[in-house]
Structure formats: C-alpha cells, structure tokens
C-alpha cells in the first residue's frame, strides 16, 4: 500500500472505548506517531498496541468512575451537587 492508501485506511479506524476518536487524531506528533504507523512494520504494531493499552485504561477508569457514581446518593443534603443528573455530567 502507498502512504496515501495507508493514511486513508488508518483514518477510518476508531478506538474501541473512545470511539469518537479517530486513531490518526490520537497519535502523538513525532516519535511513535502517525508517520511510524504509516510506514508499517514493527514500530507501527508497537505504536498501535500502546494506543490500545491507553484506550483500555480509559475504559477501565470510566467503569470505575461509574461505580463510584452509582454509590453516591445525590438526594442527600450533604451532597454538593444535590441532583443525580448533575453528578453524571
């Protein structure tokens, strides 16, 4: 594949958890960035693996945060927010 073809393919990929985020936008500029992914090979695989690890971390942290919110009683007067809809914003 040419660099342009690879770019078009990669630009259609989305992260698993942060699905609104395109892979090309999630890559850092410079080292281990888009150019390494477009060049293919081992560096590409390693870079995408790191990105999947970060995405999995985001999924885990989101899940843990949801568990905290589920235990929070927003109806109690000691709550700073006083409203469950505000807690989940």
Decide if 74 contacts 81 (C-beta within 8 A): yes
Spatial contact of 17 and 59, defined as CB atoms under 8 Å apart: yes
pTM for this predicted structure: 0.68
Q: Which backbone phi and psi does 34 adopt, to 5 degrees?
A: -60, -40
Higher pLDDT, 29 or 10: 10
Confidence of residue 53 (pLDDT cuts 50, 70, 90): very high
72 and 65 Cβ atoms separated by less than 8 Å: no
Structure tokens given for 60: 């885990």
Reply yes or no on whether the pLDDT at 60 is more than 70.
Answer: yes
What are the DSSP calls for 13-48, one per residue?
A: -B-SSSTTSBHHHHSPSSTTSHHHHHH-HHHHHHHH
């Amino acid at each position: 594949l040419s660099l342009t073809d690879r770019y078009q393919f990669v630009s259609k990929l989305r992260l698993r958890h942060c699905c609104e985020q395109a892979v090309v936008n999630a890559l850092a500029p410079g080292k281990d960035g888009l150019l390494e992914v477009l060049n293919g090979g081992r560096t590409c695989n390693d870079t995408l693996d790191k990105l999947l690890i970060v995405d999995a971390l985001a999924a885990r942290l989101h899940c843990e945060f949801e568990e905290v919110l589920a235990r929070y009683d927003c109806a109690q007067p000691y709550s700073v927010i006083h409203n469950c809809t505000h807690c989940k914003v």
